[in-house]
Structures are given as structure tokens and as C-alpha cells.
């Protein structure tokens, strides 16, 4: 979002995002909301950051990893953040889930163990767990920052869907054992694919990987198991799965029940927030507040927090957003200490720009 004296710009790099933005602009004008909203499409997240920094745009809503990159790489800040169900600032918790029968398993001693990840370069499946391993000195990437190689050497075998895709492994050198816990489709094709043709892809897939005894630990969101119980998932592997079959592994080496995720998690992942230049924090918030007052709880017509009718979800803002809250502190305070710490693990020693490349590209 870019805020000049009379103009306000939100840009997103998918056309469907742009259409909702244009609809918001038209409805804001029709309802006489003070200010003018303009919509500009960016090429990608990094392009959005650069447009905000150079003043050709004012603001954009971003995920946690990108918020960190925007602040760390570009000196940007936050004007507002999403709030879900009255829990301000927190989107979800990343947890390490294991079978309760694995009595000798500790998150502090994972060497040679097997792991199940929702996908490569995802917050839940890669950034948080690998950052945790670096911060607990279980792995060391050195100056080369070759995370796949180090992770492959650390775990006995894993399923990291997408790890062998050309964009993540252009030279074909990523360790093969990072796909050994993957199973592909029913015909043994698409093994380790970065999509649902790989049956261990995504969070439900990572949970399945553990449920089928192909992995010791799954890195997932705290609600993943509950999303697959009580008939919500009719696949055979989930039908007999019960809460009592699983446990959480805590960062201090202990374990806990699945309901104790607020105390036993690797990181609390922040809610999405609106990235701006420092000097525009107040002005952007005031405009968002006016939009929210008119369209935030709308039951008819345009709704700020609903993507119904657009064919996709979470456009402009997450559909689960209850309200936007003002961010008075810094981007790092919004991200929180556990999440910021795992992201800092990617600032390889002697190569401070790597975090920008990792998080923004």
C-alpha cells in the first residue's frame, strides 16, 4: 500500500487479488470513504517490497516470512495486523508431532531420526523446524548456507515434498534421503512431488507419514490432527487415528499432550500484517480503520474479510480475520521472539544478504 497525500495504493501480484482490490476501491468511493484507493499489481513479493520502499506503492498484506524480509532487507514497518477469533497477533503454532509410543524421542536429539515435512520452503515444514535445529546447534550450515545438504546429513531419512524440484534443486544435488519417506501416488508415481499427488504432501500428508510409521516426527500446525479426526478425513489412514495415539515434542526435550500446544510449540507464527514505510504507519492505519468500519462486518454487499464469489480464498486479507488491529510497535515485536529467532537462523554467518534471498525470492 502506498500513501501519498490523496492516493492510497494496494498491489498484489495475482489478477484475482487485483479484482477484489478494484472492487474495494469502487465500493469505498461509492460509500464516500475518505481517501482514494488505487490498485497496482506487483510481479512478486519482493517487487511489492521494493515498490513500497521506493514510494510507487504504499502497502501490502504479507505473511510472516515476508514481513521479516521487508523489515530486515528493506527497512519497512507495519501499520496493521490481522486478528483471528480474538487472539491478537497469533495465526497458529508450529508443533512437532510424534506417536505416543515413541518414548525415546526428543526434539533435542533428532540426529538420524526420520522426519515428515509438509513441503520445501514452507513456514511450517521448513523455515521453523530447520531454524530450530540451527538455533539448538543440532545442525550448522556454515558459510555456504546449503541447508538441504546439511538437513539431509542430519536426518536418517525424510519426506520433504518439492526438495528435488528444479527450482529448489537446479543442479540435482539435494540429498536423496530427503525423499525416502515419501510414497507418491497410488501407482508409485510423483514421489516427492510438491503437490497432492504425493500422498505425504501438505500437513495432512505429513501427519499421515507419522501415522503410517514412515517418520518419527511431523512438523505441522497445532490444529492439523484435529482437522483429520472425527470423520473429517475419510481416508483409511485417518479413520482409526485418535488423539491418544499422538503427542507433542517440546523444545526443551520433554513431551506433552496435543492440547498443550500453547506451552509446547517450536514457534508461534504471527498473523498476516500490512507492510508500509515507517512514515506511513499512521496514515495507512487511519485509512484501513475507515475501510474496516464500513466493510469489516458487512453482511450484505462488499465484505473486506470475505473472498466469497472470487473463486479463491484469503484475498487481500485472510478470510478468518475478525478485525484489523493497529500495530504500534516494530515489525520484530509483531513477529514475536520465537518466530524471529528461527528466521535469524537463515542469516548465515558472513553472508547477511542470504536471508533476503531466502525470504523474498
Which pLDDT tens digit goes with each residue over 243-291?
999 999 999 999 999 999 999 999 999 999 999 999 999 999 999 999 9
Q: Count the Cβ atoms, other than its own, within 10 Å of residue 190.
A: 18
Please provide the average confidence, as pLDDT, over all residues in the chain. 89
Q: Which three cell numbers stand for residue 282?
A: 499512521
The ranges assigned to domains in the chain are 2-84+271-332, 90-268
- Calpha distance 267→89 (Å, rounded): 13
Q: Range with the lowest mean pLDDT among 2-11, 65-74, 77-86, 300-309?
A: 2-11
Q: Range with the lowest mean pLDDT among 164-173, 211-220, 291-300, 343-352?
A: 343-352
Cβ burial of 137 (10 Å; 0-12, 13-18, 19+) is exposed
- Calpha distance 308→121 (Å, rounded): 29
Report the pLDDT value the prediction gives residue 71, as an integer from 0 to 100.
Answer: 95
- Calpha distance 207→222 (Å, rounded): 11
Paired residues of 93 in beta bridges:
268
**Please, are residues 83 and 321 in contact by the beta-carbon 8 Å criterion?**
yes
Do 2-84+271-332 and 90-268 show the same overall fold? Answer: yes
Q: Which three cell numbers stand for residue 13?
A: 501480484
Report the pLDDT value the prediction gives residue 13, as an integer from 0 to 100.
Answer: 40
**Please, are residues 67 and 335 in contact by the beta-carbon 8 Å criterion?**
yes
Q: Count the Cβ atoms, other than its own, within 10 Å of residue 74.
A: 18
Give residue 22's pLDDT band: very low, low, confident or very high (50, 70, 90).
very high
Report the pLDDT value the prediction gives residue 86, as an integer from 0 to 100.
Answer: 62
- The residues, any chain, with a CB within 8 Å of residue 281's CB and separated by 6 or more, are 77, 78, 79, 327
Global pTM?
Answer: 0.83
> What string of H, E and C letters represents the secondary structure of the chain?
CEECCCEEEECCCCHHHHHHHHHHHHHHHHCCCCCEEEECCCCCHHHHHHHHHHCCCEEEEECHHHHHHHHHHHCCEEEEEEEECCEECEEEEEEEEEECCCCCCCCCCCCCCEEECCCCCCHHHHHHHHHHHHHCCCCCCCCCCCHHHHHHHHCCEEECCCCCCCCCCCCCCCCHHHHCCCCCCCCCCCCCCCCCCCCCCHHHHHHHHHHCCCCCEEEEECCCCHHHCCCCCCCHHHHCCCHHHEEEECCCCCEECHHHCCCCCCEEEECCEEEECHHHHHHHHHHHHHHHHHHCCCCCCCCCCCCCCCCCCCCCCCCCCCEEEECCCCHHHHHCHHHHHHHHCCCCCCCCCHHHHHHHC
Q: Which three cell numbers stand for residue 101?
A: 509410543
Work out the average pLDDT over 165-182. 94
Judge whether residue 8 has pLDDT over 70.
no
Give residue 16's pLDDT band: very low, low, confident or very high (50, 70, 90).
low
Among 3.40.50.2300, 1.10.3720.10, 3.40.190.10, 1.10.10.10, name the CATH number for the domain at 2-84+271-332. Answer: 3.40.190.10
CATH superfamily of 90-268: Periplasmic binding protein-like II (3.40.190.10)
Q: In Å, how far are 33, 92, 109 from 136, measured between CA atoms?
A: 50, 22, 10
Q: In Å, how far are 173, 184, 216 from 245, measured between CA atoms?
A: 37, 25, 13
Amino acid at each position: 500500500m502506498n500513501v501519498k497525500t490523496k492516493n492510497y495504493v494496494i498491489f498484489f501480484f495475482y489478477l484475482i487479488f487485483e479484482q477484489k482490490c478494484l472492487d474495494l476501491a469502487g465500493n469505498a468511493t461509492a460509500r464516500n470513504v475518505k481517501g482514494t484507493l488505487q490498485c497496482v499489481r506487483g510481479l512478486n513479493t519482493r517487487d511489492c517490497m521494493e515498490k513500497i520502499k521506493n514510494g510507487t506503492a504504499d502497502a501490502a498484506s504479507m505473511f510472516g516470512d515476508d514481513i521479516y524480509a521487508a523489515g530486515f532487507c528493506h527497512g519497512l514497518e507495519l501499520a496493521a495486523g490481522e486478528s483471528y477469533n480474538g487472539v491478537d497477533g497469533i495465526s497458529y503454532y508450529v508443533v512437532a508431532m510424534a506417536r505416543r509410543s515413541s518414548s525415546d524421542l526428543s526434539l533435542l536429539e533428532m540426529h538420524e531420526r526420520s522426519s515428515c515435512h509438509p513441503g520445501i520452503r514452507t513456514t511450517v515444514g521448513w523455515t521453523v523446524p530447520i531454524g530450530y535445529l540451527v538455533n539448538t546447534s543440532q545442525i550448522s550450515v556454515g558459510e555456504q548456507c546449503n541447508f538441504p545438504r546439511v538437513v539431509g546429513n542430519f536426518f536418517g531419512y525424510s519426506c520433504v515434498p518439492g526438495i528435488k524440484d528444479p527450482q529448489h534443486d537446479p543442479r540435482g544435488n539435494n540429498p536423496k534421503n530427503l525423499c525416502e519417506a515419501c510414497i507418491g501416488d497410488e501407482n508409485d508415481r510423483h514421489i516427492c512431488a510438491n503437490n497432492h499427488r504425493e500422498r505425504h504432501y501438505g500437513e495432512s500428508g505429513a501427519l499421515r507419514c507419522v501415522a503410517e510409521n514412515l517418520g518419527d516426527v511431523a512438523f505441522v500446525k497445532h490444529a492439523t490432527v484435529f482437522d483429520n479426526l472425527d470423520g473429517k478425513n475419510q481416508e483409511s489412514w485417518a479413520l482409526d487415528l485418535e488423539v491418544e495415539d499422538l503427542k507433542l515434542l517440546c523444545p526443551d526435550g520433554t513431551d506433552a499432550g496435543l492440547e498443550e500446544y500453547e506451552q509446547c510449540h517450536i514457534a508461534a507464527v504471527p498473523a498476516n500484517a500490512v507492510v508500509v514505510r515507517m512514515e506511513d504507519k499512521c496514515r495507512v492505519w487511519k485509512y484501513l480503520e475507515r475501510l474496516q468500519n464500513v466493510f469489516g462486518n458487512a453482511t450484505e454487499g462488499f465484505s473486506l474479510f470475505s473472498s466469497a464469489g472470487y473463486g479463491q480464498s484469503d484475498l487481500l486479507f485472510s478470510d478468518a480475520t475478525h478485525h484489523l488491529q493497529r500495530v504500534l510497535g516494530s515489525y520484530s515485536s509483531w513477529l514475536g521472539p520465537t518466530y524471529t529467532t528461527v528466521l535469524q537462523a537463515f542469516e548465515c554467518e558472513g553472508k547477511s544478504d542470504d536471508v533476503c534471498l531466502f525470504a523474498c525470492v
